[in-house]
Structure 1
Amino acid sequence: MDSLWNGFKELIFQKDGSNLFEKILLSVVVLVTVAICLNVFYKIIDGIFNDDKPGIEVREARRLVTLNNVVKTFARASVWIVAIIMILGQYMDVGSLLAVAGIGTVAIGFGARGIVEDVMSGFVIIFENQFCVGDYITIDEKHYGIVESIGIRTTTIREFTGGLFIIHNGKIDRLVNFSKGHIKAVVEVGVSNKENINNVIDIINAVCSEVFESHEDLFKTCPEVVGVTQMDTNGMIIRVISDEDASAKAKAEIILRQKIKEAFDLHGIEIPSTVV
């Protein structure tokens, strides 16, 4: 066993003590070159995937941000791999090292299948534009929120409960993207059966016009009253809808409910104790 281990060390670490200063100096030069190359690459990537271009749509800007981060990650990994091989080449036989690494790669290949699957899935997600940073998505009908980052191996989603959900790209199966196009903000208001329905709808329409004018950045279209969607002995439900960006949906619904409640209080509109 000792002879086998010694043979392995001789294969990998074929040391040469001469010109040690030159080797150290070359290693430093390689590291400086890495810093310069990365700086140049980052500027080129920022120029290609520039999300500050005039007239660019919000969704396209998000996609550019995602591509920017992924390409930078790939460039950084590639540069460092080349640099490490060059530095190690000063102190050992890199060819022997790569040969042994190849044998090791075959040995652990089955265990690395998950990593390969995650990486390939990540590239598919990005280049097929399935979703981008800032999109509102649901995964497996259980986890939903705003995409915070898309990496080579994992995607992170900030759920509306505040938690950060991290999932391997290869595990993303059933996905719904609500950010491709507008999403519907829906507010349902309970009203007593004693109230005049036409009067209530007029009040809600006035509120819709008010919030649309005062929050043009939030509402893509003016909220509109669909009508009565449910009714029983307790009261009736009036539905209001509006087109929104996914990230603004919750805030738009909150503002609309608040303004409707304030208008109801002002006009003495009764809300049933039990919402239908």
Structure 2
Amino acid sequence: MEHFKDWLAHLPEIANINWLALSGKLLTILFILVMARLLYSGIEKGMRRFLKHRAASGDAAGKARLETIMPLISSVFRYVIYFIALLLALSEAGVDTSALLASAGVLGLAVGFGAQNLVRDFISGFFIYFDGLIETGDVITTGSITGSVERIDLRNTMVREFGGRLWSIPNGDIRSLGNFNRGWSRAVVEVGVAYEQPVALGIDNLKEIAEKWADENPDIWLEKPEVQAILALGDSAVSLRIVVKVKPMQHWATERELRRRIKDTFDEKGVEIPFPRQLIYTRKDKA
């Protein structure tokens, strides 16, 4: 009953509210938020159209670089637009934004000490891009993770492993990395030949295989294949090796093809690829 009386006592104050002005402020705030959303969507669509046009022009390198920087630019625009929209909305609601900004500066300084990792990730993200270390589509190894770069944001780099698992790696944690898409790669194929076989037979067949592959794939290699021998005298085999300098990301396919040719040729020519074996001697003690 007492609460009802209090509510009745405040009825004159409610009646004195300028509902028309309040409705106008609410509509203005809603308009600001909607326009912020539309502005960001328009910028994002414009960037996608530009990227699509660049891809259609056939500039693969430019397309990869744009795919890398677009998420960074998009993130910056998103934060800036929504921050300005929030300030305008608060100002329209009667909040003193100048005092809010001053307080935010002090609060930001305090939060900054507790968010050093976040700041580190942002700064590292900019350096990763502007130094040109990696781009979208590159295959990299960082730590124990090897995979294709799908996205680089201000905070994280998304890397998908060959098995499909998607890793989100904070940019600040990428202290060292290897990039398979820079300059060139090297295909390395090792094979063992049995001790009972003449080593020269294995070397000659490997040279024939390497030369034939090079003749059939001139658009892949940068330097002609080289047969290296003898790498090691193992427990059951003499180790030989083919190495060839190829274009970036061509080394895995090259290695698979050379291994197939080596197996087929060795089977045809009777060159034995040994497997581990042991000689066991038995001794009988005299009675």
Task: Identify the TM-score tier after normalising by the shorter chain.
Answer: 0.7 to 0.9
**Gaps in structure 2 of 5+ consecutive residues:** 1-16, 278-287
Distance in 2 between the 1:247 and 1:165 partners?
Answer: 21
Farther-moved stretch of structure 1 (200-209 vs 146-155): 200-209
In structure 2, the residue matched to 1:69 is 71
- In the superposition, relative to structure 1, how do residues 265 and 257 fare at CA in structure 2: closer, same or farther (>3 Å)? same
Farther-moved stretch of structure 1 (198-207 vs 123-132): 198-207
What is the aligned residue count? 258
In structure 2, the residue matched to 1:101 is 104
- In the superposition, relative to structure 1, how do residues 118 and 267 fare at CA in structure 2: closer, same or farther (>3 Å)? same
Distance in 1 between the 2:96 and 2:265 partners?
Answer: 76
Query: C-alpha offsets along residues 32-52 of structure 1, whole Å, 9 cap, x if unaligned?
Result: 423442244235534379651
Distance in 1 between the 2:90 and 2:240 partners?
Answer: 72
RMSD of the TM alignment (CA)? 3.4
Deviation for aligned residue 1:127: 0.8
Deviation for aligned residue 1:211: 5.1
The answer to whether the 8 Å contact 1:137/1:145 transfers is yes
In structure 2, the residue matched to 1:3 is none
TM-score (norm 1): 0.76
Amino acid corresponding to residue 123 of structure 2 in structure 1: M
Amino acid corresponding to residue 34 of structure 1 in structure 2: A
Q: Percent identity?
A: 29
Q: 1:128 aligns with which of 113, 127, 131?
A: 131
TM-score (norm 2): 0.73
- In the superposition, relative to structure 1, how do residues 267 and 82 fare at CA in structure 2: closer, same or farther (>3 Å)? same
Distance in 1 between the 2:247 and 2:20 partners?
Answer: 65
Deviation for aligned residue 1:67: 0.9
Distance in 1 between the 2:111 and 2:255 partners?
Answer: 52
Distance in 2 between the 1:164 and 1:189 partners?
Answer: 34
SS of the equivalent of 2:114 reads coil
SS of the equivalent of 1:109 reads helix
**Gaps in structure 1 of 5+ consecutive residues:** 1-14
Query: C-alpha offsets along residues 26-69 of structure 1, whole Å, 9 cap, x if unaligned?
Result: 234334423442244235534379651645354x5322210122
SS of the equivalent of 2:82 reads helix
In structure 2, the residue matched to 1:266 is 268
Farther-moved stretch of structure 1 (84-93 vs 157-166): 157-166
Distance in 1 between the 2:73 and 2:275 partners?
Answer: 56
SS of the equivalent of 1:271 reads coil
